[in-house]
Structure 1
Amino acid sequence: MKYIVELDGVNKIYGTNHVVKDLNLKVEEGEFLTLLGSSGCGKTTTLRMIAGFEEPSSGSIRVEEESIEEKEPFERNVNTVFQSYALFPHKTIYDNIAYGLKMKKVPKPEIKQRVTEMMELVQLEGFEKRYPSQLSGGQKQRVAIARALINRPRVLLLDEPLGALDLKLRKQMQLELKRLQKKLNITFIYVTHDQEEALTMSDRIAIMHDGILDQLGTPTEIYEHPKTKFVATFIGETNIFDGAVTAIDGKDISVNVENGTIMGTGENFKKGEYITVSVRPEKMKFSDQPVDGFSISAVVKDYVYVGSVIKCMVSLPNGNELKIERLAGDALPQIGAAIYPYWRKEDAVLIHNRDNLIFEAIENITLG
């Protein structure tokens, strides 16, 4: 496997604020990798360090196996596309796209050929003589992408490039970006806080939380097998239970939670361990009688209709809410009905709780 971008032990500290913490990340050649996380998690800072707009406090960054920490941004074989477009308002679309080549003193015939190719690639033929003020938001973003791609970078960095677009246009541009990336076989490193966008576009997703890389995997791995409580709650909707392991029978694990007992499957868990259980709404089932291994009860409170899907909201005795999701037309219990939620044991994701791990570490130190 060839890695085109490698970050080893990268840290970024601003005064007392440790923004990126011991980040190790390897990006495969030709892949679409998304850095995903909430505001302040360190994803944009990471992108800016690769681009050369920020210097790492420690660690190393390599592009094509060459260290780039000492290189200026224009010396790195990467280009960046920003949310703000950053187009020259007084220049035509042709001149905006050609700007980088003119700075490199590329011959005019070659510039014309490459600009024409880029205009066709981003589907803006015939717009050469227009100015940015005459374009829509989506068209401006295509110009910004073409301007970055015309330099033929090995890696294209994109910092929330679709954030300023309306929902319909953003979804359209997601598909166009993915098409471009596959056609050109250029490595894309994409920053977003939009989970659906990341799942739609990415070959792999790197989820960052509080400066730490929480999980790296394919969209399916991230959604179906989250490794931390944060990942489980950040990607899509889920029902969360916190409790203690009461019994282990092979891979079958019983967990005692505040409202009763639930079950799941997993390995490397200990009896008495405090864990988190995540169950997606579409995996939830319900019965009018207790199901073997499950003893939680609930009352149906409301329904939310979202087109092809109906979300059933149910309340546990302690007031916590669960979601049960079904396709429109499927049978669902009546509002006010008492039900017993359950699921296939294999559909529950059991997660080691970090608080429990920290407690054990402190206990080990205390007890020697």
Structure 2
Amino acid sequence: MDKIVELNGVNKVYGTNRVVKDLNLFVEEGEFLTLLGSSGCGKTTTLRMIAGFEEPTTGTIKVQGENVEAKEPFERNVNTVFQSYALFPHMTIYENIAYGLKVKKVSKAEIKKSVLEMLDLVQLNGFEHRYPSQLSGGQKQRVAIARALINHPKVLLLDEPLGALDLKLRKQMQLELKRLQKKLNITFIYVTHDQEEALTMSDRIAVMHDGVIDQLASPTEIYEHPKTKFVATFIGETNIYDGCITSIKGEIANITLENGEVSVKCPEDFSILEYASVSVRPEKMKFSTKKVDGFGLVAQVKDYVYVGSVLKCIVALPNGNELKIERLAGQELPKVGSKCYPYWNPEDAVLIHNESHYIFEALNNIKLA
């Protein structure tokens, strides 16, 4: 596939606040890419720079291979959909959707044909004579999307467009947006702080943290193989253990923790005596009534949390840290108040370089120099 959007060395600084830091990113034609992160991570600023509503302090932005930093938003062949809908309240739905074509002085016949096609596409046939005040939140968002799509942009930018909708409607609209994107084969760049939304809709996810991309990969890769502690804890639930690698035998590393020892499959870029973090998803956790080889954790069962089809078991380690073990409702879990030995298949855990290790190495290098 061809790269349709490219950001190279992009920085955005407000006064002394560096919001986006040396960002390098490309988006392929027809891709659904999500910028995911918490408030203040730089995701919306990045989207606004692509749209033309903000200028990068340094760096270049290309759309279809052409530098666009000096171009106005309407010259970039991208359209933006906002959380607030931004519909004209005094205009009918027809007039709202037709607005962009009317500004371009397209013929009335062509406008009518295009508007009716868009209404059919977003499943709002028969709504053309209504006003925004007569529509539900989900219907308004569909109108906003139709208004953006009618100009046939190469790239559609979506800034948390479903954030104002209730949970049920949001999930419905997620599927609708994905259907539209695949049908039209338009590149979508989507901003959200909702991890489940990103996992559901995206071809790739860029997890942003403090102005940089911590990891850029497919939803499966992001969830199953997080590269940083932040990604592991931000995407879904996980159990994190911090410790030191005390031995490596074959592909298995032994990690010494405050509460005991654990085993995990070890990639080649880890070494003995390195500080590392271990991430284990609750559904990968196991338990035993007796000690398991390679594991020295002992815990007491504190509570259960029932969430429909899933039952979560909360267990406490001797230092007070809590772990979660997750099972489908009806499956066996240890009883509240009982003692158990948590463990997992070594290949089901992810070993992550600990920031403390990098700090230690940097200080050590300074001393050596």
TM-score of the two chains, using structure 1 as the length reference: 0.99
Residue 354 of structure 2 is matched in structure 1 by 353
Stretch of structure 1 that moved more, 104-113 or 354-363: 354-363
* Aligned-partner Cα distance in 2 for 1:363–1:56: 36
Q: 1:270 Cα shift?
A: 1.1
Match of 2:229 in 1: 229
Alignment RMSD, CA only? 0.6
User: What amino acid is aligned across from residue 356 of structure 1 in structure 2?
Assistant: H
Post-superposition offset of 1:288:
0.8
What are the Cα deviations for residues 203-226 of structure 1, in whole angstroms up to 9, with x where unaligned?
100000000100000000000000
Counterpart CA distance in 2 for 1:324 and 1:318 is 18
Q: What is the identity, as a one-letter code, of the residue corresponding to 1:176?
A: E
* 1:278 counterpart residue number: 279
3-state SS of paired residue (1:246): strand
Q: Which amino acid aligns with 2:326?
A: E
* Residues 207-226 of structure 1: pairs in structure 2 closer than 5 A: 207-226=207-226
Deviation (angstroms), 1:256:
0.4
Question: In the alignment, which residue of structure 2 is the partner of 1:303?
Answer: 304
Distance (Å, rounded) in 2 between the aligned partners of 1:326 and 1:225: 21
Cα offset for 1:330? 0.7
Encode CA deviations 1:247-297: one digit per residue, 9 max, x unaligned.
Answer: 011221000001000010122111110000000000000001110000010
Aligned-pair distance for 1:242? 0.3
Give 1:131 shift: 0.4
Matched letter for residue 284 of structure 2: K
2:325: which partner in 1? 324
Query: What residue is the counterpart of 1:170 in the other structure?
Result: 170
Aligned to 1:92: 92
- The 2-side partners of 1:57 and 1:211 are apart by 13
SS class of match (2:126): coil
Alignment of 1:119-138 (within 5 A): 119-138=119-138
Runs of 4+ in 1 over 2 A off after TM superposition: none
Unaligned runs of 5+ in 1: none
Residue 362 of structure 1: CA displacement?
A: 2.1
Q: Residue in 2 aligned with 1:202?
A: 202
Report the Cα distance in structure 1 between the residues aligned to 2:287 and 2:174, rounded to whole angstroms.
37
Report the 3-state secondary structure (helix = DSSP H, G, I; strand = E; otherwise coil) of the residue aligned with 2:196.
Answer: helix
Equivalent-residue separation in structure 2 for 1:219 and 1:100 (angstroms): 34
Which residue is 1:11 aligned to?
Answer: 11
Match in the other structure for 2:51: 51
The DSSP-based 3-state class of the residue aligned with 1:176 is: helix
Mapped pair 1:60 → 2:60: yes
Tell me which amino acid in the other structure corresponds to 1:254: N
C-alpha displacement of 1:143: 0.3
Shift of 1:358: 2.3
Compute the TM-score of the two structures, normalised by the length of structure 2.
0.99
Name 1:269's counterpart in structure 2: 270
Whichever residue aligns with residue 5 of structure 1, its letter is V
SS in 1 for 2:109: helix
Tell me, in whole angstroms, the C-alpha distance in 1 between the residues paired with 2:360 and 2:259. Answer: 24
CA distance in 2, matches of 1:174, 1:70: 33
Name the SS for the 1:144 alignment partner. Answer: helix
* SS of match in other structure, 2:111: helix
Q: State the SS of the aligned residue for 2:23.
A: strand
1:2 aligns with 2:2: yes
Q: Give the Cα separation in 2 of the matches to 1:354 and 1:150.
A: 47
- Distance in 2, Cα, partners of 1:264 & 1:86: 50
* Secondary structure of 2:216 counterpart: strand
Describe the SS at the equivalent of 1:142: helix
Task: Give the whole-Å Cα distance in 2 for the aligned partners of 1:288 and 1:92.
Answer: 67
Counterpart of 2:53 in 1: which secondary structure? coil
Deviations 1:112-169 (A, max 9, x none): 1000100000011101110000000000000000000000000000000000000000
Aligned-partner SS, 2:74: helix
> Which residue type is aligned with residue 197 of structure 2?
E
Give the equivalent residue in structure 1 for 2:255.
255
Number of residue pairs the alignment of both structures matches: 368
Q: Deviations over 1:15-52 (max 9, x none)?
A: 01010001111101101000000000000000000000
3-state SS of the aligned residue for 1:220?
Answer: helix
Q: Which residue of 2 aligns with 1:21?
A: 21
Give the Cα–Cα distance (whole angstroms) in 2 for the partners of residues 98 and 310 of structure 1: 50
Identity of aligned residues (%): 77
